[in-house]
Amino acid sequence: MPPLKHISVSSLRTFQRCAAQWEFSYCDGWKKPANLNFAIGLAVDAGVNLALREKRDTGKLPEREKIIAETESWWQSNEVELWPDESRKDAVAMSITLAAIMYDELLPHIKPAPGRQSIQEKFLVELIPGVPSILAFMDVIAEDGIHDIKTSATRYNEKKVAHDLQRQVYGLIYMLETDTKEVQFTFDVGVKLKKPVLQSISMPVTEADAEYVLGWIEKTFGQIASSMKSGHFPPNRESFLCSRRNCQYWRECEKRHGGVVHEGSEKR
C-alpha cells in the first residue's frame, strides 16, 4: 500500500468512526454519490461560496436570485443516493431555504479578509515530523476569524464546538500561518428544522487547544499507519452511524466483512 501524501480532518474523523469506511474511501479510492443530507449541505455550499467570492472580489453580494439559482443548479449537476421514503423535491426546497436564510442573515455580516484567497483557502501544512502534511480548505477567513458554514439536523451546543476537531486543527494551522496565539472560530449552521434557522456559535482556538490536537493527530495517524501495515481495517458496526442510510459503502462492507448493515433511520 503506497504511503499517504497527506491527511485531512475528514479522513481522520472517518478513520475514528470506522476503519473499514476509511479503507474504502482513502485506500480503494471508491467514490460514491452523496446521501440526501450530505447533498443538502453541498448544494448550500455552492450558492454561499459563489456569493462570498463575489463579495470578496467586488465588495458587494450578488443578487439573492443568483445564489438561489446556483444552489438549485447543484442538484441538476450531481448524482444523489435516495431512499424510497426520501424526496428529492423536498431536499432541493430545504437547500434553497437554507441558502436564502444565510444570504439574508449571515453573508451581509461576513467580511472576507483582504489580501488573500479567504474563500475555500487551501493549506497544506506539516505539523508533526513523520506524519503526512495536513490538507485543509477553510470556508471563510474573515476579518473576525475563521467561519465554517454547515448544515445540520440539530442545533450545535458549546460542548460539541469545544470538542470539535475541525475547529482545533484549522485554528492551529491559522495560528501557525499568522504567528498568533489565538483565533476566533465560528460555526454558522443552517439547522434543518421544520422551520429552518441559522445558528452562529463562536469559540476561540487557544494554545491549549493546539497542544491537545497535535497529540491527537499523532496518536490517530499511528493507528492509521498500523492498519496500513497490517492491512486490517475492521468495520465499526457498534457505531450509531453504521447504517445503510449513513454509509454509502454498506454493500462493499457486507461483501468484504460479512454480516448485515442495517438500514437505520438516523438524520444528520
pLDDT digits (tens, 9 = 90+) for 231-252: 899 999 999 889 999 899 999 9
Q: Which tens digits make up the pLDDT trace of 137-160?
A: 999 999 999 999 999 999 999 999
Q: What is the DSSP string of 114-161?
A: TTS--EEEEEEE--STTSPEEEEEEEEEETTEEEEEEEESS---HHHH
Contact 20, 235 (CB under 8 A): yes
pTM reported for the whole predicted model? 0.91
- Position 265 scores a pLDDT of 63
Q: Which tens digits make up the pLDDT trace of 110-136?
A: 999 999 999 999 999 998 888 889 999
Left if phi > 0, otherwise alpha if psi is -120 to 50, otherwise beta: which for 59? left
Give the separation between CA 35 and CA 79, rounded to whole angstroms: 9
Which cell is 110 given? 461576513
pLDDT(93) > 90: yes
Task: Grade residue 185 by pLDDT with cuts at 50, 70 and 90.
Answer: very high
Task: Grade residue 2 by pLDDT with cuts at 50, 70 and 90.
Answer: low
Task: Grade residue 229 by pLDDT with cuts at 50, 70 and 90.
Answer: confident
pLDDT(193) > 60: yes
Q: Which tens digits make up the pLDDT trace of 57-90?
A: 999 999 999 999 999 999 999 999 999 999 999 9
How confident is the model over 203-229, as a mean pLDDT? Answer: 91
Residue in the block written with cell 481522520: 12
Query: What 3-state class would DSSP assign to 19?
Result: helix
Which cell is 217 given? 493527530
Please give the mean pLDDT across all residues of the chain.
93
- Position 241 scores a pLDDT of 87
